[in-house]
Amino acid sequence: MASHVLKTPISVFMTNGNAGKFIQISSYGEEYGKAVKGPIQVLFHRYGHYDVLETISAPHHPKVER
């Protein structure tokens, strides 16, 4: 439903046991193609709880001067 309201693809991930890796378990809104910033990514924790996953790349961090 959220993918249709936002007109953006959404990818859902879970952690893979003790390995600590993410596995994609579902995706919604593929009909909207690739969004400008990519799909919204969420981490599913069972029992209906989700957290947003954010991909951070080094070039976008502000430089801290000392």
Q: Which two tokens stand for residue 54?
A: 């954010």
- Residue 66 lies inside a defined structural domain of this protein: no
Going 56 to 58 to 59 to 62, the CA torsion angle's sign is: positive
Domain count, the chain: 1
Give 31's pLDDT tier (boundaries 50, 70, 90): confident
Convert the pLDDT of each residue in 37-64 to its tens digit: 678 888 888 777 788 877 666 555 455 5
How confident is the model at residue 65, as a pLDDT?
Answer: 58
Domain that residue 16 falls in: 2-60
On whether the pTM is more than 0.75, the answer is no
- Residue 39 lies inside a defined structural domain of this protein: yes
- Residue 37 lies inside a defined structural domain of this protein: yes
- Residue 11 lies inside a defined structural domain of this protein: yes
CA atoms within 13 A on the CB side of 26: 8
